[in-house]
Structure 1
């Protein structure tokens, strides 16, 4: 049975597609391709149908990640098919938990940086780089990469637990 993870930010053109691309690479490197699927969405539909922000694509490409992405809005009905919903900041976390049809679904929502043992516990947000320069996208990638190993370890534990 496939373990499904969805990364969620505001418009699904910067942070969440970046997190999706990095996590997919980690999953592939770990040999879990057939067992773990990742995608992404936004809390709002402002950019539905658009590609990822060109700065996201450029920063990912410079760091060896590929991306093919079309923005979409997260739907509450998706909770039933997802195992984990990863919010990129506290605002997304609150919004997603409000959308959750059940308490069990709300429990599926986690902050990405909560998987980074080096992250300061008081601030687990990945800042939105949209209104800034490329430096913000580079900083976003660093945060995403730092949390992705811990996220992969947690997902691997769940996947192996299912197989047992």
Structure 2
């Protein structure tokens, strides 16, 4: 029996801070739950400035302290991602605006979701802010939010896999 994998894409501005961290955290959660056969996870950036580069060294260092290895290479989001991925998670309203502006229909638009909507442990957080121009505290804060959101997202996806409810 062939398993129909859920395909998840995480998107931020340059694909070197938030989205590769979300990709790495989500892969770690999936692996820890022995659910690798059920998911495919990737990340992309809106801009092409960092294509081919590893994630920002500061985000890699923050991740390593928590046991993550963020080693994906940056790529730019393309319109074909709408056809390939089931869900596209963005980090802030500007990401949402830029990605949804590329949609061609309502089905594509419905795939674009705010990752911060899955945050439960941090009150009143609506976005995962870009830490790029910040310091180590900003990177750790972004990673705290990403971990929280990805944990809750995984629960929502697993619940969805067992029912017909939308995530």
Q: Tell me the TM-score normalised to structure 2 length.
A: 0.91
* C-alpha distance in 2 between matches for 1:97 and 1:40: 16
TM-superposed CA distance for 1:119, in Å, is 4.3
Structure 2, unmatched stretches of 5+, are none
Q: How many angstroms apart in 1 are the aligned matches of 2:109 and 2:70?
A: 28
Number of matched pairs: 161
Q: 1:152 aligns with which of 126, 151, 154?
A: 154
* CA drift at 1:124: 1.1
* Alignment map for 1:34-53 (pairs within 5 Å): 34-53=37-56
Instruction: Give deviations 1:15-39, integer Å, cap 9, x for gaps.
Output: 1001111111111112210111111
Q: Would the aligned equivalents of 1:45 and 1:73 in 2 still touch at CA under 8 Å?
A: yes
Say whether 1:136 aligns with 2:131: no
Q: Is the 8 A contact 1:85 1:108 kept in 2?
A: yes
Normalised to the residue count of structure 1, the TM-score between the two structures is 0.93
TM-superposed CA distance for 1:120, in Å, is: 4.2
- Which of 3, 10, 32 aligns to 2:13? It is 10
| 1: CA distance, partners of 2:95 / 2:151 | 21
How much has 1:137 moved relative to structure 2? 0.6
After superposition, residues 70-149 of structure 1 pair within 5 angstroms as 70-121=73-124, 123-149=125-151
Given that 1:35 and 1:159 are in contact with CA atoms closer than 8 Å, whether structure 2 keeps it comes out as no
CA root-mean-square deviation? 1.4
> For 2:34, which of 10, 31, 34 is the aligned residue?
31
User: Whole-Å Cα distance in 2 between the matches of residues 8 and 72 of structure 1?
Assistant: 10
Post-superposition shift, 1:102? Answer: 1.6
Q: Is the counterpart of residue 19 in structure 1 residue 22 in structure 2?
A: yes
Deviation at 1:154, TM superposition (A): 1.6
Query: SS of 1:4's equivalent?
Result: strand
